[in-house]
Structure 1
Amino acid sequence: MDETLLRALVPAATGILVRRGAGFAAAEDAVQEALIEALRRWPEEPPRDAKGWLVAVAWRKFLDSTRADASRRRREALVDAQPAPGPATVADDTLALYFLCAHPALAPASATALTLRAVGGLTTREIARAYLVPEATMAQRISRAKRTIAGARLDQPGDVATVLRVLYLVFNEGYSGDVDLAAEAIRLARQLASLTSHEEAVGLLALMLLHHARRPARTGPGGILVPLAEQDRGLWDTRMIAEGVDLIQSVLARDRLGEYQAQAAIAALHADAPTAAETDWPQIVEWYDELVRITGSPVARLNRAVALGEADGPRAGLAALAALDPGLPRYTAVAAYLHERDGDPATAARLYAAAAQAAPSLPERDHLMRQAARLNAGPR
């Protein structure tokens, strides 16, 4: 049984139940129950019409739940209105569900969890394991999110930019536990790109593919962090890179640049270089200029300082860095790298050690400590 195909049917089934009169929370719960039943039954009894089966079972579960409520007259009316069995031909509401789950009233953590459940088809247990939190905690988060958007309708206009931010948050969680969130985010981004002609949806998909293609080379023995310049490029997924490059080239031709397209263009230049030494840093600086123009992001300015240090020399990078807030994440690590390249190992070692103390993850902390120790040991 293709679980990916089954999960792809979840948002459409949820949308159909909502159109028939179910509330979003009740519809989403019913579809989740139907999904679990499908995972149990389909290997032995595959249906002829997968979507129709999922909708029919979910609707039956919704009605069973409704019959247990207090308002019997309203329940009977819903039962009487049940449509005749048959193929599910109702319009696909997947895109509307994306908008609903990325509602601006939701906190980012709640929006990502609700998207993974209602659009991605993951169970609460799977999402909890992926985020390394207790299942009860994740259940409460999802329940609060559903209560927050209880009055929202599927026919209300949505914001693609908000949906893209949510998917990017999911992607950046990477892999932890039983669910590969990066792969799940790519699947959802691919689905979103197919539902809308929005250039940034395609740009985000390209960006995810280009980053994910380098994943096998990002860590070494024992899980140590391997910087981009030191990665074994023979481990990169060339087919994924080719798809990402094709996507970004096609969407850039529309001449409607956005932040994800700019980031994907930068990632494509890194992926296109046969070696780190052959990276086209001047062009990467130009793309960072575009990204800063679009977003004004301090993080983009920080990354631009690194690129400028590669293109025009470390002094140029340090000059650009001096104009930024030292409190930025990874500012100290960037300063250490540029000082090392500028021939000042003592300052670089001190900064690497300081950066390690503020590192957001254990692998990054260990990497920075190794850099400091290497410089403190002196030349061999």
Structure 2
Amino acid sequence: MDEARLRSLTPGVLAVLVRRGADFAAAEDAVQDALVEAVRAWPADPPRDPKGWLITVAWRKFLDAARSDTARRRREEIVDQEPAPGPAPAADDTLQVYFLCAHPSLTPSSAVALTLRAVGGLTTRQIAQAYLVPEATMAQRISRAKRTVSGVRFDKPGDVATVLRVLYLVFNEGYSGDVDLAAEAIRLTRRLAAAVDHPEVSGLLALMLLHHARRAARTAPDGSLVPLAEQDRGRWDTASIAEGVEILQSALARDRLGEFQAEAAVAALHADAPTAEETDWVQIVEWYDELVRLTGSPVVRLNRAVAVGEADGPRAGLAALADLDTALPRHAAVAAYLHERAGDLATAQRLYAEAAHKASNLAERDHLTRRAARLNAQLA
């Protein structure tokens, strides 16, 4: 059975149930039950209309639960409206499900979990494995999220920017367990791009593809991080780079610049350079200037300081860094790198050690610790 195909039908089936009157939480449970039934039944007897089959089975699962619910009067009204089985409706409400799962009343972590469950079609166990948390913990998180959005109707336009934030959060989680969240985020963003005509959706898809293209070169065989400048560019996925650049160019041509398009432009300039030494840092600084204008983000300004240090020298980079809060994530690591390039090895060693202590994951901590140890050996 094509599991990806099965999961791709999930949001459309869920939307049909909600449009018929089911509350979100009950509809989502029914869809999950239907998916389990499909895994059992389809290999021996594949349906001619997979989506229609899922809608019929999910609706019946919902009705079975509805008939035993305490709110019988309302449920009986819904039962009386049961449509006859038939071809799946042509309308695709997938976009509304994206908006619902990225509802502003949800925390980012809950929105991500609900998106993976309701839009991605992943099981609670798969999501828990991906986030390295107990399945019971993830089940509670998803249940709370479903209760939060159960009263929300599909009658108001959603916020594309919020949906994009959620998908980017999914992408940045990378992969663990048996679910590759980076690949899943790309799949979901492709579906969103097919459902909505928005340059920032294209910008995010381009950004994901360009970052993902470098994935194979980011780690050494022992699992250690390989910085961008030291990566084997022959291991980069040229097909993904070409697709990402093409999508980005089409989005930029619409002259509605947004944050994800600008970030993708930076990634494209890195991807376009045959070697690290040939990177067009001057143009990268210009794109970071656009990002600062668009977002005002201190993290963007931190990344800009690195680019300035490459374009105009480490002293210029340190000057750009001077007015930023030292508590920013990665501030110590950036300062260490710029001090090392400026020849101040003692300060760089101290800052690398500080950055290693603050690192949020083991691979980054090991990388920064090795940098500090190398400089310590040189100083000795």
Contact 1:13–1:54 (8 Å) recurs in 2: yes
Mapped to 2, the partners of 1:201 and 1:215 lie a distance apart of 21
Q: Could you list the per-position Cα deviations for residues 259-296 of structure 1 after superposition, in whole angstroms to 9, with x for gaps in the alignment?
A: 00000000000011111111000000000000000000
Alignment partner, residue 32 of structure 1: 32
In 2: Cα distance, 1:208 partner to 1:50 partner? 30
Q: Are the equivalent residues in 1 in contact too, given 2:209–2:240 (CA < 8 A)?
A: yes
Q: Which residue of 1 is the match for residue 153 of structure 2?
A: 153
Q: In 1, are the aligned partners of 2:346 and 2:379 still within 8 Å (CA)?
A: no
Q: Aligned pair in 2 of structure 1 residues 322, 73: CA closer, same or farther (>3 Å)?
A: closer
1:351 counterpart = 2:351: yes
1:81 aligns with 2:81: yes
Distance in 2 separating the partners of 1:196 and 1:259: 18
Superposition pairs of residues 87-166 of structure 1, within 5 angstroms: 87-89=87-89, 91-166=91-166
User: Which residue of 2 is the match for residue 314 of structure 1?
Assistant: 314
**Residue 249 (structure 2) aligns with:** 249
> Which segments of 5 or more consecutive residues in structure 2 lack a partner in the other structure?
none
In 2, Cα distance between the equivalents of 1:296 and 1:257?
A: 15
Secondary structure of 1:117's partner? Answer: helix
Q: Which residue of 1 aligns with 2:334?
A: 334
Alpha-carbon distance change, 73 to 353 in structure 1, aligned in 2, over 3 angstroms: closer
1:369 is aligned with what amino acid?
T
The corresponding residue for 2:20 is 20
What amino acid sits opposite 1:194 in the alignment?
A
Q: Offset of 1:72 from its aligned partner?
A: 4.1
Question: What code does the residue aligned with 1:180 have?
Answer: D
Asked if 1:176 corresponds to 2:176, the answer is: yes
Q: Deviations over 1:32-73 (max 9, x none)?
A: 110111122222221100110110110111111111223445
Instruction: Mark the CA change 1:63 to 1:75 in structure 2 (over 3 Å): closer, same or farther.
Output: same
TM-score (structure 1 length as normaliser): 0.98
Write the distance in 1 (CA, Å) between the matches of 2:78 and 2:111: 30
Deviations 1:143-181 (A, max 9, x none): 111111121001222100000000011111111111111
Deviation at 1:90, TM superposition (A): 5.0
* In 2, Cα distance between equivalents of 1:235 and 1:352: 28
Query: What does the per-residue CA deviation read over 1:100-144, in whole Å, with 9 as the maximum and x for residues that have no partner?
Result: 110100000000000111111111111111111111111111111
Percent sequence identity is: 76
For residue 81 of structure 1, report the CA deviation from its aligned partner.
Answer: 1.4
Give the secondary structure class of the aligned counterpart of 1:158.
coil
Q: How does 1:6-17 map to 2 (within 5 A)?
A: 6-17=6-17
By how many angstroms is 1:75 displaced?
Answer: 3.8
**Counterpart secondary structure, 2:153:** coil
- Give yes or no for contact 1:174–1:180 (8 Å, CA) kept in 2: yes
Distance 1:169 1:131 in 2: 12
Pairwise CA RMSD of aligned residues? Answer: 1.3
Distance 1:184 1:110 in 2: 17
**CA–CA distance in structure 2, aligned partners of residues 43 and 231 of structure 1:** 43
Shift of 1:221: 2.1
Q: How many residues align?
A: 380
Distance in 2, matches of 1:72 and 1:161, equals 39
Structure 1 runs not aligned, ≥5 long:
none
Q: Which deviates more, 370-379 or 175-184?
A: 370-379
Paired AA for residue 34 in structure 2 = A
Matches within 5 A, 1:33-72: 33-72=33-72
Note the C-alpha offset of 1:379. 8.2
SS at match of 2:350: helix
> What does residue 202 of structure 1 align with?
202
Q: What is the identity, as a one-letter code, of the residue corresponding to 2:377? A: A
1:13 is paired with a residue whose SS is helix
1:190-339 map, 5 Å: 190-339=190-339
CA contact 1:213–1:241 (8 Å) conserved in 2: yes
CA contact 2:213–2:240 (8 Å) conserved in 1: yes
Maintained 8 Å contact 1:105/1:148: yes
Stretches of 4+ aligned residues off by more than 2 angstroms? 70-80
